[in-house]
Structure formats: structure tokens, C-alpha cells
Amino acid sequence: MPTLDDTWADFGTTSATVERWTLRTPGGEHVHATFGPRGEQRIEDGPWTPSVWSASRGLRKDPIHRDTLGPKGHVPAEFLAFGRVRAGERARFRSLLTVPPGGGWLAVGAGAAKTVWLDGAEQPLDDAGYAAVSRSPLPPGEQVLELLLVPDEEQDLRAYACLVADPADAARPEWIGGSLLETTVRLGEPPYEVLQVASTAPCRVLVNGEEAGRQGGFDPYADADIPRVRRYDVSGLLRRGDNTIRVVSDGWVLVDGLVVSGPHWPSRPRVRRRQHGDPAALYLRPRPHPLPAAGWLDGRPAALPAAFAVPGARPGTERFLLDPPPGVTGIEVDAAAGATVRIAGGTELEVTTAPGAQSGAALAGPVRFTCGPGRMRLGDWEERGLAGYSGGVRYRTTVTAAAGPGLLDLGRVRGTAEVTVNGRPCGIRVCSPYTFDVSLDSGDNTVEILVLGTLGPYLDEVSPTHFVFPGQRVTGLFGPVRLRWAAGA
């Protein structure tokens, strides 16, 4: 009976494939597959710095995950991080945007007022809150995109920019406030959608004048600025035709589901641009993800496949060192669009880069190694060509001994260890001491030691978690390995 979920083949149970997400340049700089510069950004008149993200994973080790202890099964929507920006300060982003055939509407999300220029010409935006959209579609082809963001509150300013096929896909629930927060929704026959309310202060929810529920009032983490969220099944209070939804609160509220909060509510509420953490974490309905390749995680719709590149970037050549694992028999590399890759001598990648496909962004995914039997010294897998590997390594050696009982001491092991001698199971150890009583045959004896690690190294490579620490990546058989039997040591 399996004791671990291996849905994603994290332990390599379906093939002998080793993935490598992090490579090195000859100068020792780390390069992370799919991550590369796709634009430039600055605050006020400061220097332009590269805007680095992955089209599938967003920001590497996104700091937004620290407060919530993890991404909760989705890639964050925002991939531009400007740091702390004071109210009224100007944050800028620029990129060479390639609009795919068919064109699309430009969608921008940020807790700030937004101004957009394309090839130097200002573009009208519908920008009444966090989410904004261009008033006309962008034609296919290359255009220099310039984005100015000016927040009205001091905050850790984050943003996204993408293309959508329908301007309605750019809409998001907005934080609203005011003395009267009320809207009307016209309904047909049931079933009816759930109503979800997030609030920064205690609130009451009324449907057609009847109270559907309350939330807030006791907050043990009031200093943490964390909204409270509740879902309401209000089907018993709804009717065919017009229905009035009202939220009474002294704070800010965000509503999704049956109705969606925003400046369009007839009560003309105030709108707050600043968000709380990852905005999408408080939505009930999934919206198209701004990153075109983010669907790998949850399979949900994503934005159009627009390309972003540093303005003025030119094709070039970069070299990445592979550090192949033991017993490698094949190497597979997926190049990103516009880039080409040549494997040199089995130990190096020579990459011809293109704008938008530089550094790790020249790779569409990890380098994959097919492995067979090979020679491997004892020690940390991270230093033996298996950096970021979660799975198992089977060590095998032949020992000549006299027949009879023996004692096998593996010394130091990081992981679990399973031992067989001449195919006979000798036990499993999950912690020290890693000693095994064994039965030896006269002459040659084949000793096999299977060491299995944890998911820590793999998760540290492929996910944005901040909570895999260096010691948790250490895995392997360190020894010294000693076999003793009656005839001597």
C-alpha cells in the first residue's frame, strides 16, 4: 500500500529521469530555468533594474508567500514587485511587448493609478480601481510598453500586465467602502451562486432586507491587517427577478460570486486600490491568470501568449554548466521560443538567446537526464550531480566474506535506508543507528542499499516556498560503511 502521494512522479517511480532546474554559468552564477529578464523597472529617477519573472511561475521565491506559509495551490497573479513605494511616488515599468496574431486588450492590475504608453503614445484606460483595461484592442506586432504607477497609499507595490481576448476577462472584484454598499441582481430559476464577502471590519450581509449573516467582531490578529472571509448560501432569501444585496460595514469589503463588488454598484462606493496579499486568494471565481503559462498548476484559463522583452535586448550566446548525475545516458532540453540550445560534451549547454528568452528564460523547462547504472562516491547528493533531486539512489557493491552472520553499519545517512544482501531483505531504518544484522554467503556477496530522501530538495527547486532550509536539502549515504562478520572486520 503506498504511503506517499506520488501523483506528480516526484520520486521518479515511473522512469529513471532526473530534473535539473538550477544551472550555473562558468562564473558560478545560478541560472533558474524559465526565469529571465523581461523588462525594466524603477522608482522615481532611480536606476533601471531588470524585471525578472517566469511565464509559468511568476516571481522566484515570491515573498508574498512568507505571510501565508505557501501558495495554496496557485501561482500568484502579480509578477512585478517594486518594493516599498510611498503615496504619490512614481513607479515605472517598460518592456518590448509582442502582441500575438489577433491582437488583444491590455489588462493591468496594481494598487495604484495607472498610465500606459505604447510606442510613446498614451493609451486610454478604464482604471477605476485595482484592475484596468485598455479601451481598444492592441494590434499584433511589437510595441514598446511603458507603464506608470502612482499609489495613493504607501505599500509594497506589486503589479501585472497581460493581454486578454475579451475586456471582461480583465475585471476583478474591487475593495469598496462607504455608508451604503448596495446593488441589485436579477435572477432566474435556481440554483443560485454562493455569495462570498471579505471584510476588513465587522459587517452584516443583507439579502432583500433580511440578514443573511455577520462576520468579524473578534480578531485575535487585528495588527496583521488580514481580511476575514465568509461564504453565504443565500438561496433561501432569493427570488426570481430583482434582488437587493447590501453589506453594512465601517471598513472595506470585497464581494464575489452572486454579485461582484466594484465602482459600478448603484450606491457609488469608494474604491480602494491597495490589496491584501495575493489578490486572487480572496476571489471566489477563478479569473484568467495574467501569466500565459500558469495553467500547469491548476489547469485554469490564462492570458494570451504575449511576449515581454527588455527594450534594446539583442540575441546573444550564453553558457550553462550541467553537472550531470551519475550514470547519465541521455539529456533532454526544451528551448523557449526564439532560443536554440546545443549540448556540448554532455557537461555544458551553449544557448543562443533572443529578446525575452535570456538567462533561464531561454529554457522552457528543466533539463532532464535519463540515467542508468553509474559510479557514485559517498556523500551529499547535492554535490554528486543530484542537486534538487527527491527520490532514491540504490548503492550496490560486492563483498567477499565467509558464510555466517554479520553486522552492516552504514555510518551517517540522511534519509531512509533499506538493505538487501544477495536479494534477501535485511530491514529498513528511518533514523540512526543505521545498523543491520545480515546473513552472508561464502564468497562474493552483493550488498544493496536503497536510500530515499524527502520532497524537500524538489519542492525547493520547483515551488516558491521559503520554508525548505539548507539542511533539509542534504540527502545521501555518507558512511563510513563497515561490514563485520565472524572471520574479522
Q: Judge if 43 and 148 occupy the same domain.
A: yes
User: pLDDT by residue (tens digit) across 458-475?
Assistant: 989 988 888 888 899 999
Task: Return the pLDDT at 237.
Answer: 97
Q: Judge if 154 and 234 occupy the same domain.
A: no
- Pick from 409, 331, 385: nearest CA to 363: 331
Specify burial of residue 460 (Cβ count, 10 A radius: 0-12, 13-18, 19+). buried
Q: Is residue 237 part of a domain?
A: yes
Q: Judge if 260 and 140 occupy the same domain.
A: no
Q: Is residue 376 part of a domain?
A: no
Q: How many CB atoms lie within 10 A of CB 200?
A: 21
Q: Is residue 66 part of a domain?
A: yes
Q: Judge if 55 and 91 occupy the same domain.
A: yes
The residue segments making up the domain with residue 399 are: 381-485
Q: Judge if 119 and 78 occupy the same domain.
A: yes
Q: Judge if 162 and 183 occupy the same domain.
A: no
β-partners of residue 408 are 436, 483
Q: Judge if 165 and 179 occupy the same domain.
A: no
User: pLDDT by residue (tens digit) across 18-33?
Assistant: 999 999 999 999 999 9
Task: Kindly state the cell numbers that stand for 373.
Answer: 547504472
Final residue of a domain: which of 255, 290, 309?
Answer: 309
Task: Return the pLDDT at 350.
Answer: 93
Q: Is residue 196 part of a domain?
A: yes
Task: Return the pLDDT at 6.
Answer: 52
Q: Is residue 212 part of a domain?
A: yes
Q: Judge if 102 and 211 occupy the same domain.
A: no
Q: Judge if 37 and 165 occupy the same domain.
A: yes
Q: Specify the pTM.
A: 0.90
Give me the number of domains the chain comprises. 3
Q: Is residue 202 part of a domain?
A: yes
Q: Judge if 153 and 210 occupy the same domain.
A: no
User: pLDDT by residue (tens digit) across 82-96?
Assistant: 999 999 999 999 999
Q: Letter for the amino acid at 480?
A: P
Q: Is residue 6 part of a domain?
A: no
User: pLDDT by residue (tens digit) across 410-453?
Assistant: 999 999 999 999 999 999 999 999 999 999 999 999 999 999 99
CATH number of domain containing 119: 2.60.120
Q: Judge if 206 and 94 occupy the same domain.
A: no
Task: Return the pLDDT at 299.
Answer: 83
Task: Return the pLDDT at 8.
Answer: 47
Q: Judge if 98 and 150 occupy the same domain.
A: yes
Residues of the chain where predicted confidence (pLDDT) is lower than 50: 1-5, 8-14, 488-489
- Pick from 54, 51, 55, 137: nearest CA to 99: 137
Q: Is residue 244 part of a domain?
A: yes
CATH number of domain containing 230: 2.60.120.260
Task: Return the pLDDT at 365.
Answer: 93
Task: Return the pLDDT at 487.
Answer: 56
